[in-house]
Amino acid sequence: MMTTLRWKLLIGCCATVVGVLLILIRDWLPQSQKIPLLSILLIMGGLSYVVFVLMKSWYDKKSDVSEVIEDERILKIKAYTFMKAFLFSFTIVCILGILNFSRLWVMDARSAIMIVIFTMGGSSLLLSWYYNRQGDINGK
Amino acid sequence: MKSKNSCRIITGALIITGGIITLLVIPETPSLGTMLLAGGIAFLVSSVINHRKYGDEPDSDERSRKIAAYGLSRAWMTGVLFMFCLIWLDALGMLRLGTQNALVASVLVLAFSAVIYQAWLFRKGDVGI
């Protein structure tokens, strides 16, 4: 069985390799002038992720805090935070769909997706702050 | 009947009424009324089925609530990744989606990923941390 750390490193390395491969085969792909930008994003993202994972693992090993940080309570708070954020975002996507479908609020695709991304991020941040302030998830 | 189910049945009935009124008052946009009708019927049917299945007994325990929470939190992450992919593909000009298509794709990815993660976790039995 692969450990979580190895999985994370594998994901980062795969993103980097895909980025490099895209640059190498860009002449055979459609929209070839935009491939380098996508490749750079993938390579930067993959390498940053690998460095972040390695630094976090090194920090956890050095300070031996991983057991203290990732306890049952915090994992439960995380799960409930993202669950509520998911339900809220799903409702917002449905409302946006109804508004757009009935021509009450006409918007372009990029605006709609940006609204959904900010809703997802914002709701999870707010809920995370709220539940961490509350201390625990009780009776929900 | 549990208060949760009765609330859902009342909400479903209200949404259906809203859908019928919308269809009668604004006949030029039948899609809105149809969507409200479909949503209301889904609410009503699911709560009636839930009541017939569980009655006044609790319909979820600690394990199933935990699985539901973890499934939905993973679906949230999948949704965020999907949205970022959509926005980058759109920005790079590799995929041009209309607003309706983008929203429908988002709803489908969010809903299906939630169902798949929850089914997988229920099949596994518990959430492995």
Note the pLDDT tens digit of each residue in A26-74.
777 776 677 787 788 888 888 999 999 888 888 877 776 655 556 778 8
pLDDT-flagged residues of chain B (< 50): none
Q: Which of A16, A39, A65 is the last residue before a domain boundary? A: A65
Interchain pair A81, B73: CB under 8 A: yes
Q: Are residues A76 and A91 in the same domain?
A: yes
What chain A residue is nearest to B29 in terms of C-alpha separation? A102
Instruction: Tell whether A108 and A128 lie within a shared domain.
Output: yes
Considering the domain architecture, whether residues A77 and A121 belong to the same structural domain is answered as yes
Q: How far apart are CA A135 and CA A132, in angstroms?
A: 5
What's the per-residue H, E or C state across chain A?
CCCHHHHHHHHHHHHHHHHHHHHHCHHHCCCHHHHHHHHHHHHHHHHHHHHHHHHHHHHHHHHCCHHHHCCHHHHHHHHHHHHHHHHHHHHHHHHHHHHHHCCCCCCCHHHHHHHHHHHHHHHHHHHHHHHHHHCCCCCC
DSSP one-letter code for B60:
-
Query: Is residue A10, in this structure, part of any structural domain at all?
Result: yes
* Number of CB atoms found within 10 A of residue B108's CB: 11
Q: Are residues A60 and A74 in the same domain?
A: no
Kindly state whether residues A41 and A96 are assigned to the same domain: no
Question: Which residues from B are below 8 Å from A22, CB to CB?
Answer: none
Asked whether residue A96 falls in the same domain as residue A79, the answer is yes
Are residue A48 and residue A85 in the same domain, yes or no? no
Q: Mark whether A110 and A86 lie in a shared domain.
A: yes
Whole-angstrom Cα distance, residue B91 to residue B78?
Answer: 20
Residues A55 and A103 occupy one common structural domain: no
The answer to whether residues A60 and A76 belong to one domain is no
HSE on the CB side for A27, CA within 13 Å? 1
My answer on whether A58 and A76 are in the same domain is no
How many domains are contained in chain A?
2
pLDDT of residue B76: 92
Q: Are A114 and A93 in contact (CB under 8 A)?
A: no
Contact A76, B129 (CB under 8 A): no
What phi and psi, each to the nearest 5 degrees, are found at residue A106? -90, 125
User: Do the domain assignments include residue A26?
Assistant: yes
Q: In which domain, by residue range, is A59 found?
A: 4-65
- Which of A34, A65, A96 corresponds to the end of one domain? A65
Domain annotation covers residue A139? no
Does residue A3 surpass a pLDDT of 80? no
- Using the beta-carbon criterion (under 8 Å), do A100 and B77 form an inter-chain contact? no
Distance from C-alpha of A80 to C-alpha of A101, rounded to nearest angstrom: 31
pTM of the shown model: 0.72
Nearest beta carbon to residue B31 from set A96, A102, A107: A102
ipTM: 0.75
The pLDDT confidence band at residue A125, using thresholds 50, 70 and 90, is very high
Q: Establish if A91 belongs to a structural domain.
A: yes
Q: How far is B13 from chain A (nearest CA, A)?
A: 19
Chain A residues close to B34, C-beta within 8 Å: none
